[in-house]
Amino acid sequence: MLSISKWAASATKILLWEFTFAHNNFNVLDLEKSLKFYEEALGLKEDYRKVAADGSFILVYLTDGKTPHLLELTWLRDRKEAYNLGENEFHLAFLVDDYEAAHAKHKQMGCICYENPAMGIYFITDPDNYWLEIVPKNK
């Protein structure tokens, strides 16, 4: 049986191109509410947007201004019901310089949904109930 590291090394030799992360996508019901949340809770700002010619969708790409990774928010005009996130076993993680200040801000916002003091992390939820992990930068 091939070990993971040997498989990865052999797979790397086979690929003639390189992949890098670009963005993650969350679909949202209320684009303006989500934009406000991501700016207030995490300091993310709009980098750019794409609007369908017929107005059926809007894609907004958010940036932290420090890394190339983007968060794409997708708004669909005809979507009226909340998205089914299943058991919500996926999340994005954010590093923060001042963990205590961030925790106080998120507590004041009422968006903390889970805390794990033993691990020194907590999670917040956005307006569509996506989970966002907050991790101290020096952890």
Q: Which residues contact 88 (CB under 8 A, 6 or more apart)?
A: 129, 130, 131
Sheet holding 112-116, edge to edge: 91-96, 131-136, 121-125, 112-116
For the chain, helix (H) and strand (E) counts, in that order, are 3, 8
Of 32, 39, 100, 133, which is the active-site residue?
133
Q: Is 32 a catalytic residue?
A: no
Q: Looking at the annotation, which residues are catalytic?
A: 133
